[in-house]
C-alpha cells in the first residue's frame, strides 16, 4: 500500500473575506486552486520519473560490477528476468 488520505466535505456558511484575500473573481477560488494542484502534480510526476530513471541506472551499473560468489550479478537468471520486466 502507499500513503492514503481521508477526504471529507467542509461547508463554510456566512464567511466574510477582505478584498485582498479573495483569489480571482468571487466564486472562482476553488477552480483556481484545483488548477494549481494539477500543475504541482505534473511537477511531482516529472521529478519522480527522473529519480526512478536515475536510480535504475545506478542499480544497473552496480549490477554490472558486483560479483557475489564470483559471478557478475547482472548475468544471473533472476537479475536478467527482473530487468526485462
The answer, yes or no, to whether residue 82 has pLDDT greater than 90, is no
Is the pTM above the cut of 0.75? no
Q: How far apart are CA 25 and CA 49, in angstroms?
A: 36
- Total structural domains in the chain? 1
pLDDT tens digits, 1-50: 566 677 888 888 888 888 888 878 878 888 888 888 888 888 999 999 99
22 is a domain residue = no
**DSSP-H helix ranges across the chain:** 29-65, 77-84
Q: Is residue 77 part of a domain?
A: yes
pLDDT in tens, 53-78: 999 888 888 777 777 667 776 666 66
Residue-number span of the structural domain to which 57 is assigned: 46-85
Distances (CA, A) of 80 to 29, 52, 83, 85: 51, 19, 5, 9
> Does residue 84 fall inside a structural domain?
yes
| pLDDT given at position 47 | 94
Amino acid at each position: 500500500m502507499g500513503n492514503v488520505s481521508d477526504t471529507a466535505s467542509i461547508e463554510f456558511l456566512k464567511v466574510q473575506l477582505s478584498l485582498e484575500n479573495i483569489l480571482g473573481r468571487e466564486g472562482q477560488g476553488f477552480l483556481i486552486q484545483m488548477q494549481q494542484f494539477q500543475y504541482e502534480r505534473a511537477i511531482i510526476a516529472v521529478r519522480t520519473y527522473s529519480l526512478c530513471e536515475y536510480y535504475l541506472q545506478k542499480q544497473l551499473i552496480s549490477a554490472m560490477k558486483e560479483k557475489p560468489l564470483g559471478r557478475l550479478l547482472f548475468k544471473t537468471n533472476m537479475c536478467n528476468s527482473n530487468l526485462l520486466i
